[in-house]
Structure 1
Amino acid sequence: MKHLNATDRDMLARQLELMKSQVLKELRESAPGVHSGSTDDAHDVRSHADEAETERQDDVRFAEIEVDRLRLSEIEQAQQRIAEGRYGICIDCGEDIPRDRLLAQPTAIRCATCQALAEAGHRR
């Protein structure tokens, strides 16, 4: 974290906090609508296609919630690394993650080289 000056650290901490606020807002907004199919009127005539579409929409909503939960976890882990003085250090090689990479991806846990290797390993 020595490669980041105090201004960089403050800016990245604020950026993470803004990201966290946005994700929490998205989670709050998506939660009430998860059970969209439960408000059906008993007199509505519904086809299997209607039911399938409602189920598909719920599946998409659940997937979006899961993505938001993962993003929230990554943000909170980055905030924890800042608090512990481990922020900006690649978890694989131990080298500094370049400032520009952190500015573009504040939750990054690897340098670009190690990230590419990790992704290549998952593709096999």
Structure 2
Amino acid sequence: MKHLNPSDLDDLARRLQARKREVLNELGAAGTPLQGGVLAGEHEVHSHADDAEAERLDDVRFAEIEVDRNTLIEVEQAQQRLANGLYGLCIDCNEEIPLERLLAQPTAIRCAACQTKTEAKRRH
């Protein structure tokens, strides 16, 4: 982490904490009932289309919750790496991740080159 000065680390820690609060707020809001959906009892006539739409909305909500949970895990792992002095080092090549990349993606675990290789492997 020699490439990250104390000011950089403080800024990144604040960004991670802000992202964590944002995700926790989103997860808290996800527990509220769906708004604007077609709910049984709103109409005298209830159809299978109503049921399908409600199920689709639930699927979307659950997918959003899963994304938020994964993001929360990534943020907490980044905070742990920061606490352990390993933040900003690529997990593949152990090289420093540039500050610009960390500012854009504070949870980054790989340098751009290693991330590109990882994504290429996933495509094949």
* TM-score when normalising by structure 1: 0.92
In angstroms, what is the RMSD of aligned CA positions? 1.8
Distance 2:27 2:84 in 1: 27
- State, as a whole percentage, how many aligned pairs show the same letter: 61
Q: Tell me how far 1:42 sits from its aligned partner.
A: 9.7
AA aligned to 1:123 is R
Gap runs ≥5 in structure 1: none
Find the counterpart in structure 1 of residue 90 from structure 2.
90
Q: Output aligned runs, 1:32-51, within 5 Å.
A: 32-33=32-33, 40-41=40-41, 44-51=44-51
Aligned residue pairs, count: 122
Q: Tell me how far 1:40 sits from its aligned partner.
A: 3.4
Q: Output aligned runs, 1:1-124, within 5 Å.
A: 1-33=1-33, 40-41=40-41, 44-124=44-124
Q: Tell me how far 1:44 sits from its aligned partner.
A: 4.4
| Residues 42 and 53 of structure 1, relative CA distance in 2, 3 Å threshold | closer
Gap runs ≥5 in structure 2: none
| Residues 49 and 40 of structure 1, relative CA distance in 2, 3 Å threshold | closer
Using the TM superposition, name which of 102-111 and 44-53 deviates more.
44-53
Distance 1:43 1:33 in 2: 18
